[in-house]
Structure 1
Amino acid sequence: MTTISTSTLETHTGYWLRYVSNHVSHAFAQQVEAQGVTVAEWVLLREMLGAGATNPSLLAEKLGMTRGAISKLVERLSRKKLVVRAVSEGDRRYQTIELTEAGARLVPILAQLADENDRQFFGHLSLEDRNKLVCMLQEIVRRHGWKNVPVE
């Protein structure tokens, strides 16, 4: 009988990426959820900051999300009074969304949480090492042509 050599989990780069990602993402999710939003909602809120009134379809394209996903996020954020919708009088199908004052105040708080989360997990690395890590990850994203923004 032939013995087949089977690699261990720990020999795979993807294992370590997932291990780190799970911990980093979970910690951040808990922090933003304590502020009353999900990570996906935070991503949309952050993208809207400074954009003014914008079309949900443009946001969907920019974030690599479906219009349906954006619509659900907008609905949840609208119920939380963090965004408002305006429907065009000339074409009821066309709408824009915009941050409310409460939404605009929340985004910097959430961004600070993201910054703190990065410091907690990556602050021990030198600036040069952090930059190298980000560049390597960005190269993987470019090489595969990935467009959708991670929200989970």
Structure 2
Amino acid sequence: MPSPRHKDNVASPSRKKPVSDLEAHIGYWLRFVSNHVSHGFQAKVEAHGVTVSEWVLLREIYGSGPTSATALAACTGMSKGAVSKLLARIEAKALLERATVEEDRRNHVVALSAAGKKLVPELAQLADQNDEEFFGHLPASVKAAIVDAMKNVVAVHGLKSVPVE
């Protein structure tokens, strides 16, 4: 005959699983750290007159060179409407130039203005500084393991949208 102690360890339909603590979830810790890292970066870029969403598009254009709103939507996972609104805001800040495609006058190509080309490296340096502030104390092997783990989660779940907020 099983001991009363053994009986307590046996799952039964009437016994409910205990409620897990918040801190027991990886997602909790990811969100906790992410919120602080994101808030720190947001404050830094907003001091330069742009939002994090605008920074994402500026950096994409910097890397790709002249491109279209459609291409930006595809590589960031944002809707074309969201990209168009952001591009209009960036253009109003004189960080972007828009040109009509000669072969198809309905299409436009966007490129960074001289001011945009100057600003992107400054903002990238702020991103590097922000990473260093939060993760600089970690050994390189730990940072690499974290990045590898997150890339694996992205791949397994087919995540596409670039984080902008």
Q: Confirm or deny a common fold (TM above 0.5).
A: yes
Q: Specify every segment of 5 or more residues in structure 1 that has no aligned partner in the other structure, as ranges.
A: none
Letter of the structure 2 residue corresponding to residue 106 of structure 1: L
The alpha carbon displacement at 1:92 in A equals 3.1
State the partner residue of 2:6: none
The alpha carbon displacement at 1:33 in A equals 0.4
Letter of the structure 1 residue corresponding to residue 143 of structure 2: R
1:91 is aligned to 2:114: no
Letter of the structure 2 residue corresponding to residue 98 of structure 1: A
1:134 is aligned to 2:147: yes
CA distance in structure 2 between the aligned counterparts of 1:94 and 1:41, rounded to whole angstroms: 21
State the partner residue of 2:47: 34
Secondary structure at 2:109's aligned position in 1? Answer: strand
**What's the Cα RMSD here?**
1.5
State the partner residue of 1:110: 123
State the partner residue of 1:46: 59
CA distance in structure 2 between the aligned counterparts of 1:26 and 1:50, rounded to whole angstroms: 24
- State the TM-score, normalizing by the size of structure 1: 0.95
Q: Specify every segment of 5 or more residues in structure 2 that has no aligned partner in the other structure, as ranges.
A: 1-13
Higher RCO, 1 vs 2 (CA within 8 Å, ≥6 residues apart): 1
1:151 is aligned to 2:153: no
CA deviation map 1:109-131 (0-9, x unaligned):
00000000000000000001100
| Greater CA drift, 118-127 or 56-65 | 56-65
1:20 is aligned to 2:33: yes
Q: What is the identity percentage for the equivalent residue pairs of Structure 1 and Structure 2?
A: 53
CA distance in structure 2 between the aligned counterparts of 1:40 and 1:129, rounded to whole angstroms: 28
1:76 is aligned to 2:89: yes
State the partner residue of 1:124: 137
CA distance in structure 2 between the aligned counterparts of 1:140 and 1:30, rounded to whole angstroms: 28
The alpha carbon displacement at 1:87 in A equals 1.8
The alpha carbon displacement at 1:66 in A equals 1.0
| Greater CA drift, 57-66 or 88-97 | 88-97
State the partner residue of 2:20: 7
Letter of the structure 2 residue corresponding to residue 145 of structure 1: G
Letter of the structure 2 residue corresponding to residue 13 of structure 1: I
Q: 1:143 to 1:3 in 2, by over 3 A?
A: closer
The alpha carbon displacement at 1:28 in A equals 0.3
The alpha carbon displacement at 1:52 in A equals 2.7
